[in-house]
Structure 1
């Protein structure tokens, strides 16, 4: 039964970023609760928790709300350190690799997938993504670029092939870094998984020249974890209402904009989905910012964001 300390993941099945977190949960063998959310706006049962942040996934523990996969992965490792997935040699490097897999490689995946799906993409989905990105979601243009994007995608897959081949001399070669799977593997897994869900024939074609990457990917898919408990968005809001944010001493640390605890600010992604979330600073460091806010439905909550990939500005 879901409680105030349960891990709650707000996600949908085909979300590639959600699969990254689901994989981490399997690797850590953690129990969790699943809240299925729409893949487009409106998201009326999520907005009270996030203050307007609309991207997927979002993790909730009680009245603490964690936005962006980078923040979620960091918190999972901090609050549930065993078994460890940020392994020796992964520190810092996992974030660098995650920036590539979530950025350049993912955008290449998007062009290939939606260029292939073409007219099968619902108009409401296209409109939602146009509103989120601020630019046209043109599947015909993606289809025209797809042959070149496929070359680009396979070239990036071959970086993984080279890494696995190079790791053999150090007694590795089965995993991206080291003798067992870790956070780097979690980041790298996302784009092949996204391809398999949508254009599996293309993925198999790429794997023909990357057999070590294929073997690694198949072993990653075999990782098992706990089956989540399904709860509703209403139940998740009720859990937030009945909990209090985890107690943390207010502080700011080396703020270049000279923010101070309690200051009213707004936070938004720096790429797309720029919906500004307002609140009072609880903590601001080079790694994260935590906002305290009150919502009529969710009541008192703390919302956690990473600093990389997010903008912060004063309000008022």
Structure 2
């Protein structure tokens, strides 16, 4: 039964970014609960927790809310380090890789996938994604660029094959960095999973020329972890309301904008889904910013964001 100590993942099954976190939870063999949120807005029980942040996934532990996979994975590693996904000697590398997988490679995945299935996508989904991205959901444009994006997608996939080939030559090629899975694998896995679960014929054709990547993908897919308990969005909100956020020392460290604890600031992604979440600044450093928010539905919560990829301004 989920409580204020439980890891609660707010997600939906087809989200490739949620799959990153699901894979990390499996590899770390962590128990967790899940809330299946709608693929499109509204999400009335989640918004009081996030302050309006609307990207997927969101992680909750009691009254602490973690927005974006970067801060979710960092927090899971900090709290549950017994099975570590950090690769010694490669610190920082995984987040650099994430910038590539979540950016250029994901963009080509979207173009290939929706260039193929865009005509069957419901209008409500298109409208929602237009609001999220701030751009038209232009299926005709995606169709036109899809052949070129298929080339781009395959080229990026083959970089994994080159890495695995080089690792095998060094005697440790089961995963991208060494003999054990780590965060680099978690990030790189996302786009392959997304394509395999949406356009499997195309993905399998590409993988025919990448046998090491196929074996790597299969190993990660077959990893065994704990089955999550599914709870309602209302139950998650009820868990947050009486809980107290984890104690965080109020501080700022070398802040370029001169922020101080107690100021009201606003945070938003720097690319899409740019909803500004306002709150009282609790803590800020080079990798994390924590806001305190209050609402009738959730009372006092702390909302955590990564710094890289997020904008911060005085409200």
TM-score band by shorter chain is over 0.9
Aligned partner of 1:91 in structure 2 is 91
Task: Quote how far apart the aligned CAs of 1:223 are.
Answer: 0.3
TM-superposition CA deviations, 1:112-150 (whole Å, max 9, x none): 001110211110100011111111111111011110000
- In 2, are the aligned partners of 1:90 and 1:184 still within 8 Å (CA)? no
Q: Which consecutive aligned stretches of 4+ in structure 1 deviate over 4 angstroms post-superposition?
A: none
Q: TM-score, normalised by structure 2?
A: 0.99
Note the residue ranges of structure 1 that are not aligned, 5 or more in a row: none
CA distance in 2, matches of 1:222, 1:176: 17
Pick which of 24-33 and 208-217 moved more: 208-217
Which residue of 2 is the match for residue 302 of structure 1?
Answer: 302
SS at match of 1:82: coil
What is residue 52 of structure 1 aligned with on the other side?
A: 52
Aligned residues: 315
Q: What is the Cα deviation at residue 89 of structure 1?
A: 3.3
For 1:234, the equivalent position in structure 2 comes to: 234
Equivalent position SS for 2:185: helix
**More displaced, 80-89 or 21-30?**
80-89
2 CA distance for matches of 1:220 and 1:18? 15
Contact 1:89/1:177 (CA < 8 Å) preserved in 2? no
Farther off after superposition, 167-176 or 300-309: 167-176
Note the C-alpha offset of 1:68: 0.2
In 2, the alpha carbon distance for the partners of 1:232 and 1:136 equals: 33
Q: CA deviation at 1:73?
A: 0.2
Alignment match, 1:173? 173
The aligned counterpart of 1:139 is 139
Q: Following the alignment from structure 1 to structure 2, what is the Cα–Cα distance between the partners of residues 143 and 191? A: 19
Are 1:184 and 2:184 an aligned pair? yes
User: Which residue of 2 is the match for residue 291 of structure 1?
Assistant: 291
Number of the residue aligned with 1:224: 224
In structure 2, the partner of 1:34 is 34
Offset of residue 174 of structure 1: 1.2
Counterpart mapping for 1:2-13 below 5 A: 2-13=2-13
Structure 2: tracts of 5 or more residues without a match: none
Displacement of 1:173 in angstroms is 1.2
State how far apart, in whole Å, the 2-side matches of 1:90 and 1:125 are: 39
Deviation for aligned residue 1:162? 0.3
Once residues 85 and 152 of structure 1 are traced to their aligned partners in structure 2, the CA distance between those partners, rounded to angstroms, is 29
Provide the rounded CA distance (Å) in 2 between the counterparts of 1:299 and 1:118: 41
Cα distance in 1, alignment partners of residues 130 and 169 from structure 2: 47
Partner of 2:112: 112
Query: Alignment partner of 2:101: what SS?
Result: helix
Distance in 2 of aligned mates of 1:187 and 1:9:
18
Cα distance in 2 between the residues matched to 1:242 and 1:263: 25
